[in-house]
Structure 1
Amino acid sequence: MDHFLQGRHWAKVQRDLGRSVHEESGEGWRYLAVEESNPAGKLLYVPYGPLADTLEAFDAALASLTRLARACGAVFVRLEPVSAGFTAAEADSVLRSRGLRPAPANLQPELSWIVDLDRDFKDVLADMKPVNRNLYRNIHKKGVKIRSSQDPAEISVLLRFLHLTAARNGFKPQSDEYLSQVARTLMPVGAATLFIAELDGAPIAAALAYDSADTRTYAHAALDDAHRKLSAGIPLLVTLMADAKERGLQHVDLWGVAPADQPDHKWAGFSAFKKSFGGREAAYPGTWDLPVNKLRYGAYQLARKAAQSGKTLVKAVRAKLGR
């Protein structure tokens, strides 16, 4: 699978947001790295990369990233090797043997849910729960129509629903400015598509998808709670998949899901929703750090652990005092 976070269109998104981006490649490997900063100083972030065909190619990519980090003054490289010549099960030993360390937290999901489209679409539908198939085939009988758009101005439809969902569920969505810039960069070149469900001509749900060479990623979705009983989000997602199939894409990535053995995970609800469309789990190695300036990286790690210990102590004291 070719991930959009390592593609040239995403590189342009980052540059349009004012960030410094590096794109390098060699025999069997390539990466997109974004300059960022944290308390340690400058770092290079490689989202879902580097991409490498073999372990030898992965080593060449690491060498290139190390040289780049030194050249631009980065303290470390933060990377997520989803396709690097080894499996997720082998990742811990492979990465530690090369001097990498687990990052404090995963930036991108460690588990994703993939629906494969390299077959007749009726077989894709057959893998879904019956209610999903029926809603897709019959939602028009309830007056709901679904259309797609590549007009960046229509991102406002999704933004409005995201604000409503955030207020209802108490989470903080990505900023309007960020998603609006993503839309302005990606939608005109066909690298992002907005799907809108409408009831009597008025939007009631929307979903934004990003495309790479072979995969469509279901990135953002929200709906108007006033019409929740219509379950428009289900036929909206199936339409997104059918459109991807028509465009010749081979996979739909439904993005992060919770581990199956953690029913109380905060993602459990929408993980069950995603799995109702059929598909398979994809496990990734997670987020890792490659220290380049080892002295400064070590100091950063010590400071971070001290801060965490302080927070834990404060929580324990408050709990004991009943606060």
Structure 2
Amino acid sequence: MTDPLRQLQASAGATLSDQSVPLSFGNDAVALQAAEQGAALVDCCHWGRIRLGDADRLRFLHNQTTNSFQQRQPGEICNTVFVTSTARTIDLATAYILEEAVLLLVSPGQAQRLMEWMDRFIFFADKVSLTDVTAETATFSLVGPVSQTLLTKVGAEVVADLAPGQHRHCSLGDLDVHIAAGSGLTLPGYTLICAIDQAAPLWQRLTEVGAVPLGEQEWQHLRIRQGRPMPGAELSDDYNPLEAGLWSAIAFDKGCYIGQETIARLNTYQGVKQQLWGLKLSTPESPGTPITVEGRKVGQLTSVVETPEGPFGLGYIRTKSGGAGLQVQVGNSEATVLDIPFASRGYLAVQPSE
């Protein structure tokens, strides 16, 4: 192992996947507690990072994704969704507006797909450049209510004035870091992006002041409990962003973009037929298991995780069947439908049954 960051993590007890992603640091319960009460440090280097440059970059993103970009200023952040022409979800991305570029943070394994997708829509006169900078950069998420205190301890006083939806460049002595308000979940925290050769010293400084390493397995625990949808599970050709609870990442008052007609029609006519919910299960079940009410299929389980309180899952349920509080059957498991913090919904989530 020659990667200094991986060496550092392995020495701290990390179990690495075949793709060198830290799965666990052998401290799962402590790390989850830190995310809720202290500060947990998550390695997100396996997430994709795409740099959009040149003069038309904002107009291009405005026309290709669900959020509004035309008036965005350097230092702003926003979530946006890549969708197909029929508004099926590809990925939820976070856009960091820089002085001369936009940096997109995209889900693991999605960078190449999105590079190819966007390249299809760049025409001869468009002044847009695409660069996959995943291998050149590193991303960490600091999650928990003590995150600001720890960043201040390593010299990032800028966080005291960093409002939600903002990011700033920060010099931590010999380290140059972009710090963004927001952990990628609804839990308090920050996202940090730096050059790959600065990843190991940044990780070390944060853990030295008290950040608790949290592995991918426990990040999945957090994101499922929060209800953040991911490609291959909640984001696919089977679902649109309204169903996935991503209303806050959609600008309904902007002009034409890929998938806009379908999304506008669903919103105008309240045509969202299914929605993403949490599920408290009595026994574990596998993703893909049908969700039923009185023997009638009303949805499908998409993700599941074991928690100290029992299995918890995410699944899509027909809007007319109900929402939070509904009792359902998931395979052999009894389940209660719960709201999820990450979801935003544009109109009444539960409509009267017919």
Q: With the length of structure 2 as denominator, give the TM-score of the two structures.
A: 0.27
Higher helix share: 1
- Return the index of the structure with the highest Cα Rg: 1
